[in-house]
């Protein structure tokens, strides 16, 4: 049978509730306090967190080195790269700790 999964097709959480359909995640707005460009202190890595739940990460001269979607729960971020790779991040005191990276919110021109 093909088509959209039903609740019985989805995996169940430990509390018995069904997982939501993650294919729609890219259409959902995220927390506006995380949206923007985050950059390492040396400027080598630039991660854009977009309002539609997508991210685009540049590394040096390599634009869009990593792209995918992210979700926010409180100050915690879960990333799923378009290739299926997963990562996490946490924002503490205005700093994004993304796996082994430390990123700072890019400030606009003053």
Residue 110 reports pLDDT greater than 60: no
Q: Domain spanning 22-105 has what CATH number?
A: 2.40.128.290
Task: Kindly report the pTM of this predicted structure.
Answer: 0.71
Residue whose tokens read 């991210």: 55
3-state secondary structure the chain: CCCCCCCCCCCECCCCCECCCHHHHHHCCCCCCCCEEEEECCCCEEEEECCCCEEEEEECCEEEEEEEEEEEECCEEEEEECCCCEEEEEEECCEEEECCEEEEECCCCC
pLDDT tens across 42-95, in order?
Answer: 999 999 999 999 999 999 999 999 999 999 999 999 999 999 999 999 999 999
């Amino acid at each position: 049978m093909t088509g959209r999964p039903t609740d019985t097709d989805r995996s169940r959480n430990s509390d018995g509730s069904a997982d939501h359909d993650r294919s729609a995640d890219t259409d959902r707005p995220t927390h506006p306090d995380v949206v923007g460009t985050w950059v390492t202190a040396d400027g080598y890595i630039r991660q854009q967190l977009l309002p539609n739940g997508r991210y685009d990460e540049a590394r040096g001269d390599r634009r869009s080195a990593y792209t995918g979607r992210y979700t926010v729960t409180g100050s915690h971020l879960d990333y799923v790269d378009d290739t299926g790779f997963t990562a996490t991040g946490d924002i503490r005191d205005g700093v994004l700790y993304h796996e082994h990276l430390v990123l700072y919110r890019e400030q606009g021109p003053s």
